[in-house]
Amino acid sequence: MGDSHTRSRVWRFFRSAVHPVTDLAYFARDYPRAISLLRVLPKSIDSQSVPNWREWNNSPDDRLIGFDHFVTHEEVPNWAGDIGDIDGFSSSKSRLEDFKSTSDMVIANSREMLREISEAGLKENLAHTEIRIIHNKGIDSLRSCSWDRRIFLMNSGGSHHFSAAKLIANELDVRIEINGTLNRYSINPKAVQVICDSYRIFLVSGGASAWCGLHDALKKMSAPWARRDLPHPYDKEDGIAIFLPKNNKNSMAAARILDGSGFLDLSSHLRSLLDCA
């Protein structure tokens, strides 16, 4: 068995010396954890639960093109909507990530604020001075991202009283206007087009050892490539984005191997973000 293993390693060494592409094929075989789907992130009322694709504006790697305006920003100074339009918050005494709705949070942690489902109860909660979007204009603001569609109150307090007022207003079928500055972020279709026209993009997971194996295999193929971390709240365990330039034949040879091995094509995911708008 030992001799067989040794012969296999020797054969693999000579094969990869003559055909460097073989190393990448072996990488795909030896690191099955490197092949994964992009994790479906649980939605919560925490603004931090929304993937922060703004992190991809500009690029720390000069070789990558198309990221100068990957996400565009529009400020709407006098946005007006109903209290029911607000889906979550940026801060709270509660763990926002534990709740799927503002109603769930206030029922679980501040039920006393709901003791009176009436106009009096509504007025009492709305009178809370920490709801600064109502009582102290210009401090709190609103945020929406085209790839998520929800609206978050970027607040410095008052999340429980706001949630109670929202629930009571809904029960009474009363409209409460919320007015403030809305910061609206959108994926730039032109940037996505440039990026997808210029690169094959793959998700590679598996941690540092897998990335080192990939680096060595691509180096032996003389295949240029670049990488980017996924935006928060994805983390290192979710993988990194690998960019292979389409104008290089070695990189495209590598792309065909990754394709055939089942690595996730992130280009499709980037295009799908546009469909959410």
* pLDDT tens, N- to C-terminus, the chain (277 residues): 455 544 444 444 444 444 555 678 878 777 777 888 888 899 999 999 999 999 999 888 888 999 989 999 999 999 999 999 999 999 999 999 999 999 999 999 999 999 999 999 999 999 999 999 999 988 999 999 999 999 999 999 999 999 999 999 999 999 999 999 999 999 999 999 999 999 999 999 888 888 888 888 999 999 999 999 999 999 877 889 999 999 999 999 999 999 999 999 999 999 999 987 5
CA dist 224 and 184 (Å) reads 36
| DSSP conformational letter for 46 | B
pLDDT confidence of residue 236? 73
Secondary structure of residue 228 in the 3-state scheme = strand
Cα(202)–Cα(37) distance, integer angstroms? 10
Q: Which long-range contacts (CB under 8 A, 24 or more apart) does 237-241 make?
A: 237/205, 237/207, 238/36, 238/38, 238/39, 238/205, 239/34, 239/36, 239/38, 239/203, 239/204, 239/205, 239/206, 240/203, 240/204, 240/211, 241/201, 241/202, 241/203, 241/266
Per-domain residue ranges for the chain? 21-42+189-275, 71-187
CA gap 174, 59 in Å, rounded: 47
Alpha helical stretches, state H, the chain: 2-18, 21-30, 102-109, 119-126, 132-135, 159-172, 189-198, 207-220, 249-261, 266-275
The whole-number pLDDT of residue 136 equals: 92
Question: What local confidence, expressed as pLDDT, does residue 21 receive?
Answer: 56
Total number of residues shown for the chain: 277
